[in-house]
Amino acid sequence: MLLSLLWLPVLPMASSSPFQCYSCGVFLSAPTATCKGEPKKINCTGSGIRNGCISVTALNTDGSYYVEKRCADSEERKLNDGECVNMNVWK
């Protein structure tokens, strides 16, 4: 029985690490307040720096949105491991 299990293909398991954030880059005039395209999974705890991730959305005066989601940089408020902050900015 055990030998028959060895022939099963190994499938990668999706990790649900609390340290992962999704980056969608910066969109200066997106039609909605959500990321465009496929968000890229990133790890915000590299090099021992634990900044967490920042999600920033702003409604522009023309009705479009500024959208950004990324790791917080060292200049910004330090966040706990895996903590993600959503920031809504009104222009």
- Full-prediction pTM beyond 0.75? no
Cα distance between the two ends of the chain: 65
Domain ranges of the chain: 18-90
And the tokens for 4? Answer: 């028959």
Per-residue pLDDT band at 29 (split at 50, 70, 90):
confident
DSSP string, the chain: -HHHHTTSPP-PPPP--TTEEEE-EEEEEESSSS--SPPEEEETTGGG----EEEEEEE-TTS-EEEEEEEPPTTSPP--TT-EEEEEEE-
Contact present, 24 and 55 (Cβ < 8 Å): no
Per-residue pLDDT band at 45 (split at 50, 70, 90):
low
Contact present, 10 and 27 (Cβ < 8 Å): no
